[in-house]
Amino acid sequence: MFQNYFKVAYRNLIRHKGFSFINIAGLALGITACLLIGLFVVDELQYDKFLPQGERVYRVYNQVSSEEANDVITSVPPMFGTTLQESFPEAETVVRILMQQWDAQSLVEAGDQRIYEKGGLAADPGFFQVFPLPFVYGSPEKALEDPTSVVVSDKFAQKVFGNGDPVGQKVSINKQTLLVKGVFASNPKFHLPVNYVRPLAAMELPPDRMKNWGWQQFYTYVKVKEGTDPAFMLGKFRELVKKQVDPETEKPFKYEPFFQPLHQVHLYSASFKFDQAIRGNITYVKALSIIAAFLLLIACFNFVNLSTAKSLQRAKEVGIRKTIGASRKQLLLQFLSETLLLTLISVVFAAALTSLFLPWLNTFTEKEMTFNVFSQPALLLLLLALVLVVGILAGLYPALVLAGFKPVAVLKGAAVSDGGPGKTPWLRHGLIVVQFALSIFLIISALVVYRQVEFLHNKDLGFNKDQILFFPMRGENMFTNYETFKRELLKSPGVANVSIGYGFPGDATAGDAIEVLKNGEWVHHSVTQLMVDHDYINTLGLQMVAGRPFSKDRPTDKDAAFIINETAVRDMGFGTPEKALGQKMEWKVWSDKPDSLKRGEVIGVVKDFHFKSLFDKVDPTVLQIFPGANWKVAVKLKSDQVEGAMSHVKNVWDDFSPEYPMEYKFMDENFEVMYKAEDKLRSLLWIFTGLAIFVGCLGLFGLAAYAAERRKKEIGIRKILGAETSSIVTLLSKDFLKLVLIAGLLAVPLAWYAMSKWLEDFAYRIEIPVWAFLAAFALAALVAFLTVSYQALKAATLNPVKNLRMD
């Protein structure tokens, strides 16, 4: 019986090639998009799931509140970890991690190898107890107890030592010789981008600093004992922190610690500050999941519409089958088998297309996803389930329509319709409305995302980031003789300016407190500190709005002068930039001497500039000269002499630090990286929006052909009576355009709400333009009209006599 069903299904597929192609192509494309997005979503959800007992691991982070801001900060004071380990019996193991700053790289030397590597961190001995990464060589036991030891990843070991066991061999990292104690297996689903781990004790951090409750520098994880209530434990910890932190910081800001489950770190930390983990974004994962559902729905609705419309041409076949004894159940199975066959072919094509496009997706997302139904049985089961679910859901209604035809009526030649005589086919029209509503929703979203991303890349940042060569200082000679190094760099005619400091735009900055004298009392303010030199303002092209920049002609500027931005003027209550000049400030110097203070006054105010991404508001900022924090060099090049200037910079580098290879980038690259996720979202939205429109148009094309076929005699009569081609095109198109209009009215409020919520993540954002809604509707209407009008023109230009002669 079933063999006969599929034989008939196959014959119908071959007989109606155009219908079959449209149905299969639309469903295959929808399933392909769904599979590709599904692979990405599943991959994002796998982070840290491979770690045993990961459900008992929590990351400690802070919500820091002050009068000026309310931020979530990933790094916490060192005493958080110490207190959790010593005072909380619920804590099985606590580990504090000190990571390399931002994109800093270490010089690694072993034998003939001399390379820079990222991913270095220092950690407490319990690191491999909290994160039990499998070891390839050596053992995690006591691996981090010797300050001169290092544990490396298998990729690091292969790159530096080649194949084989490197345990017991020596490697130099930033000119410090270390002994390899173990090799762990790297895993791309580990949220920490780690290449090697050193003992925290090797950092020789000052004891006073390690007892500090305000120095937020450590990533801290706690593994709780089985049966522990983390919420209760957190409550006790908060009370203890409140007692310790509030008195020490004298209330310039308040801490509220939180425990973040390990499995949430990757996807639920997008807004966290100072986080160096590999981060995804749950918002984008959810958005892509919704888009995948949209595309599959559009494809399935397309399938239902076409199948229902086509079924009306098989009324006589149904009548004959019922007359010779076919039951309703048999007819349902017959037509469902046809649907399942089409779905099976669609899924096979979708699997092939997924395999074809997956390498591109891996390159685009920088992932290593795989799709192989032969080596992944679960994937094969998923595809088979997809055939059954999609086939049954998409084919059930058309099968019910077909099986419900009355044989007497259809054999007498009565017209049949899924909407009934003289009635509107509400389901088919409803599905068209939903299809185009989803398409218009995606068009609006794509346009808004495009405008916002363009805004991010093109907004005036308040400084000039172009043609600025940017690199870290290396070697003791360069640090000790930084002024001489600057002078040598400036000898090239292609070098316009040079600045050395800590806190350049797009790079690491320091959050700290500053005290301002008001009414005879010192008042604390939380600010961003930029440690600069005399040439910082000129190198970046910052604009002074009051006062003056730092000057080498005024020796006191180094030890007793501060420059603030416009936001600091407002937050500190100075009123105007002019009134801020001369205001007294003091700062607790970063020094081993705990009572060291720097006191001075405000000598200038700079226009606000964005040294961070546009996700964050401009912070109140203080610029000061502090050579002790010199770390990065910014070299402003003249645009017409870039090549010669860069050659000169490299030669000067080799004169000062020949033992270190030079590494550099341009400052504008830092800002491009900031919006990498948004750039990718923009590209994906355009691709999937185009796919949704294409699939919808495939269905519309088929339905227009069906409508023209059913009205061929009417069209023939109208042509004989003198109707113009344009009026016939309008006649056949207007009903579909009405549906597009209804779809637009439904999509607009939903798209406005969704995009408004997305834009809330940005401190600086566009207003949703009205033209985006009009453009989305116009585009959808135009595409629909062109799709339908092709079939309408074809019907309108056919010989009317031939139409009237057709059965």
Give the three-state DSSP class for 669. helix
Q: Which of 118, 89, 96 is nearest to 105 (CA)?
A: 118
φ, ψ dihedrals at 703, nearest 5°: -70, -35
Q: Which of 492, 504, 375, 449 is nearest to 686 (CA)?
A: 449
Tokens of 614: 């546009």
Q: Which of 462, 430, 440, 423 is nearest to 544 (CA)?
A: 462
Q: Determine the pLDDT at residue 377.
A: 82
Give the three-state DSSP class for 498. strand
Give the three-state DSSP class for 646. helix
Instruction: Say how far residue 409 (Cα) sits from the centre of its chain.
Output: 58
Contact in structure between 91 and 223 (CB atoms under 8 Å):
yes
Q: Determine the pLDDT at residue 605.
A: 97
Contact in structure between 509 and 601 (CB atoms under 8 Å):
no
Contact in structure between 668 and 466 (CB atoms under 8 Å):
yes
Tokens of 550: 């730092």
442 membership: H or E segment, kind and range = helix 426-458
Q: Which of 256, 252, 212, 254 is nearest to 238 (CA)?
A: 256
What end-to-end distance do the CA atoms of the chain give, in Å? Answer: 33
User: Each residue of 747-801: pLDDT tens digit?
Assistant: 999 999 999 998 988 888 999 999 999 999 888 888 888 877 777 777 667 666 6
Q: Determine the pLDDT at residue 690.
A: 84
User: Each residue of 5-31: pLDDT tens digit?
Assistant: 566 666 666 666 777 787 888 889 889
User: Each residue of 517-560: pLDDT tens digit?
Assistant: 888 888 888 888 999 999 999 999 999 999 999 999 998 999 89
Contact in structure between 61 and 76 (CB atoms under 8 Å):
yes
Dist CA 260 CA 277 (whole Å): 13
Tokens of 399: 């099968």
Q: Which residues of the chain have pLDDT under 50?
A: 102, 415-416, 420-422
Over its C-alpha atoms, the chain yields an Rg (Å, rounded) of 34
Residue found by looking up tokens 């309108």 in the block: 796
Beta bridge partners of 107: 116
Residue found by looking up tokens 């045993």 in the block: 52
pTM, full prediction: 0.82
- Give, in order, the Cα–Cα distances in Å from 773 to each of 15, 287, 434, 750, 777: 42, 19, 17, 11, 6
User: Each residue of 149-190: pLDDT tens digit?
Assistant: 999 999 999 999 988 899 999 999 988 999 999 999 999 999
Contact in structure between 370 and 376 (CB atoms under 8 Å):
yes
Give the three-state DSSP class for 105. coil
Residue found by looking up tokens 């990571």 in the block: 99
- Interacting residues of 600 by C-beta distance below 8 A, sequence separation 6+: 556, 559, 560, 561, 562, 584, 585, 586, 624
How many Cβ atoms sit within 10 Å of the Cβ of residue 650? 12
Q: Which of 508, 501, 497 is nearest to 533 (CA)?
A: 501
| Residue 513 CB burial class (10 angstroms; 0-12, 13-18, ≥19) | middle
Q: Which of 185, 190, 196 is nearest to 99 (CA)?
A: 196
Tokens of 56: 């008992």
How many Cβ atoms sit within 10 Å of the Cβ of residue 390? 25
φ, ψ dihedrals at 469, nearest 5°: -80, 140
Longest CA–CA span in the chain (Å) reads: 108
Catalogue the E-assigned strands of 589-697: 597-606, 621-625, 632-637, 665-666
